[in-house]
């Protein structure tokens, strides 16, 4: 098993590194210089046409992109510990939470960054739309306010069960915090949740 990744600050490679640590899987790591744009170069896009990181290559040579898809594949080949869930309901809950995060928080958050503070870096890599950043961040903030309420009384995103939803959210918000764009302290449940994850042995750098 090989994983194409980047050690540059990036939320998705960070999330997968946490997942692999929890699962106790040590792949062959292949570094792609994202800052130089090597993930958009023809050589890498021949492996992952989306040009995104990370990307896992199975022993048979099949390429899997997207952290949630990789996490579910890893559960299939190494069920213990499961990060998707041990029952149909648990697996559905994990997918539900990830989809909610993607739609209401992560996608708008990244749009806010790419078309705002990060536009100089992303110019030439994606079309930049002036004026998109502020409403995107507003949407992400609304999503976090909603999620903060859902987290009341919960240890992890799926209650008392650690799932791959947790590294995905943590990786994104850790990245945001480094840019002064992380979880607002007004979201007390999410703030406490991030602190719990940061102290978890598998989430340390």
Tally of CB atoms within 10 A around 129: 12
What confidence score (pLDDT) does residue 34 get?
92
CB 57 within 8 A of CB 2: yes
Same domain assignment for residues 30 and 118: no
Domain boundary among 46, 77, 108: 77
Is residue 140 situated within a structural domain?
yes
Are 112 and 195 in a shared domain? yes
| Contact indicator for 32, 53 with CB cutoff of 8 Å | yes
Are 17 and 108 contained in the same domain?
A: no
- What's the pLDDT at 192? 98
Q: What per-residue confidence (pLDDT) applies to 108?
A: 96
Cα–Cα distance measured from residue 19 to residue 166, given in angstroms and rounded to the nearest whole number: 9
Predicted pLDDT at 126 = 86
User: What is the reported pLDDT for 198?
Assistant: 96
> Which residue among 77, 101, 118 closes a domain?
77
Residue 205 in any domain: the answer is no
Q: Are residues 14 and 96 in the same domain?
A: no
**32 shares its domain with 98:** no
145 and 174, same structural domain? Answer: yes
Read off the CATH number of the domain in which 164 is found: 1.20.1050.10
DSSP, residue by residue, 45-77: HTT-TT--S-EEE-TTS-EEESHHHHHHHHHHH
pLDDT (0 to 100) of residue 170? 98
Q: Are residues 100 and 51 in the same domain?
A: no
Calculate ∠ Cα 62-3-118, nearest 5°: 115
Q: What 3-state class would DSSP assign to 131?
A: coil
pLDDT in tens, the chain (205 residues): 999 999 888 999 999 999 999 999 999 999 999 989 999 999 999 999 999 999 999 999 999 999 999 999 999 999 999 999 999 999 999 999 999 999 999 999 999 999 998 999 888 888 999 999 999 999 999 999 999 999 999 999 999 999 999 999 999 999 999 888 899 999 999 999 999 999 999 998 7
Give the DSSP H or E segment for 28: strand 28-31
Are residues 116 and 145 both part of a single domain? yes
Tokens of 177: 């915090």
- 3-state helix, strand, coil split of the chain in percent (to 5) is 50, 10, 40
- Structural domain harbouring 12: 2-77
Residue 82 lies in a domain: no
> Whole-angstrom Cα distance, residue 185 to residue 191?
6
Q: Which DSSP state fits 158?
A: B
Task: Select from 18, 47, 77 the last residue of a domain.
Answer: 77
What dihedral angle (degrees, nearest 10) is formed by the CA atoms of 61, 95, 14, 21?
Answer: -70
In a domain, 204, yes or no: no
pLDDT of residue 180: 85
**Co-location of 98 and 188 in the same domain:** yes
Does any domain span residue 149? yes
C-alpha torsion sign, points 30, 34, 37, 41: positive
What pTM did the predictor assign? 0.94
Domain identity same for 95 and 55 = no
Do 183 and 162 fall within a single domain?
yes
Same domain, 194 and 95: yes
User: What is the tally of structural domains in the chain?
Assistant: 2
How far apart are the C-alpha atoms of 113 and 178, rounded to whole Å?
12
Helix (H) / strand (E) element for 133: namely helix 133-150
Domain containing residue 8: CATH number: 3.40.30.10
């Amino acid at each position: 098993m090989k994983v194409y990744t980047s050690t540059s600050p990036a939320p998705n490679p960070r999330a997968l590194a946490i997942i692999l640590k929890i699962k106790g899987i040590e792949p062959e790591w292949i570094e792609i210089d994202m800052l130089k744009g090597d993930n958009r170069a023809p050589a890498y896009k021949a492996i992952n046409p989306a040009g995104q990181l990370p990307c896992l290559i199975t022993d048979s040579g099949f390429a899997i992109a997207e952290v949630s898809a990789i996490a579910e594949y890893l559960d299939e080949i190494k069920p213990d510990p499961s990060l998707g869930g041990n029952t149909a309901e648990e697996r559905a809950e994990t997918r539900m939470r990830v989809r909610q995060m993607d739609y209401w928080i992560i996608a708008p958050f990244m749009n806010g960054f790419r078309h705002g503070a990060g536009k100089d870096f992303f110019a030439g890599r994606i079309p930049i739309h002036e004026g998109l950043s502020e409403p995107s961040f507003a949407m992400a903030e609304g999503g976090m306010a909603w999620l903060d309420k859902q987290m009341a009384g919960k240890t992890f995103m799926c209650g008392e069960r650690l799932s791959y939803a947790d590294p995905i959210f943590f990786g994104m918000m850790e990245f945001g915090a480094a840019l002064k764009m992380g979880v607002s302290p007004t979201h007390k449940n999410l703030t406490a949740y991030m602190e719990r994850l940061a102290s978890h042995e598998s989430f340390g750098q």
